[in-house]
Homo-oligomer: A and B are copies of this chain.
Amino acid sequence: MRSQHCYFPQEPDAPRPLTVTIPRRVRFEEIDPLGMVWHGRYVSYLEDGRVAFGDRYGLRYMKFKDEGLAAPIVKMHIDYKASLRFDEIMNIKTTLHWCDAMRLNFEYHITGQDGRLMATGYTVQLLTDMKGLVLLMPTAWIEDFRQKWKDGKLE
């Protein structure tokens, strides 16, 4: 699937975005009386995508915690294009776009069983310490992650 639209337009010289795609099956309790996935359940789909991304690239919740960091979501947006149905196996494609500031800009594309685009969305996360103060400078761990990304060592 090729998405023309991008929620986070990039500078030409920014490192290439990082992407992970996982399958996810629609659960019975996610379906509403109209036989469609209730729109609020997609938040969990985005989270599953983000968790899979973190597993792959070393950005796991527990790692953040060990580093004394949190990554609260400050913005979430979802565009619903078609309805997922019970038992359907969707694909959740999660993409992290480069950002010079200390934030995580994730973009999501959910496709249905037949490859059709069902929903897109994005989230923005700030990086904070455990008191909730926003990081202005990267910690060593984050700087290391960013350097590897720039150097093309994360693909």
Contact = CB atoms under 8 A, between A and B. Distances in A.
Interface stretch (A15-23, A37-45, A101-109, A145-153): A37-45
Nearest to A76: B78
Interface residues of A, number: 35
The number of times this chain is found in the oligomer is 4
A12 interface: no
Contacts of A70: 34
The main secondary structure of chain A at its interface with chain B is mixed
A31 B32 contact: yes
A119 to B, nearest CB: 10
Nearest to A85: B33
B34 A32 contact: no
18 contacts: A27-B44, A27-B48, A28-B32, A28-B38, A28-B61, A29-B47, A39-B43, A39-B72, A39-B73, A40-B43, A40-B47, A43-B43, A62-B86, A62-B87, A72-B80, A75-B77, A75-B80, A76-B76
A-B residue pairs, 8 tightest by C-beta: A40-B43, A39-B73, A31-B33, A77-B77, A76-B78, A74-B80, A29-B38, A33-B35
